[in-house]
Amino acid sequence: MIDTGLQTAAIVILNKPYGMTSQQAVTRVKRLLGYKKAGHSGILDPAVTGVLPIFLGRATRLAEYLSNENKQYDACAVFGRATDTQDATGVTTATGNVHTLRKEAIVDALMSFVGEYWQTPPAYSAIHVQGVRAYELARKGQDVNLAARLVTIDHISVCEIDLDTDEPFVRFSVSCSKGTYIRTLCHDLGDKLYVPAHMKNLIRTKTGPFTLSDAHSLATIEERKEDVLLQPESAVPAMAQWIVTDEQWQQVMHGVSLQCSVEFLQAVPGTLVRIHNKYGFFGAIYAVQDVNASWLTLHAVKVFMNAEGSP
Q: What is the Cα–Cα distance from 83 to 103, expressed in whole angstroms?
A: 23
Q: How far is CA 177 from CA 41, 116, 233, 247, in A?
A: 14, 10, 22, 41
Beta-carbon-side half-sphere exposure of residue 13 (alpha carbons within 13 Å): 21
* Measured distance CA(78)–CA(308) in Å, rounded: 57
Separation between Cα atoms, residue 305 and residue 311, nearest integer Å: 5
189 touches 78 (CB < 8 A): no
DSSP state letter for 131? T
Q: Which residues are catalytic, by number? A: 45
Q: Strand 115-119 and strand 149-162: pairing?
A: antiparallel
Measured distance CA(30)–CA(227) in Å, rounded: 15
**Of 145, 151, 141, residue with least CA distance to 174:** 151
Nearest to 178 by CA among 130, 135, 217, 127: 127
Task: Judge whether 10 and 39 are in contact, CB under 8 Å.
Answer: no
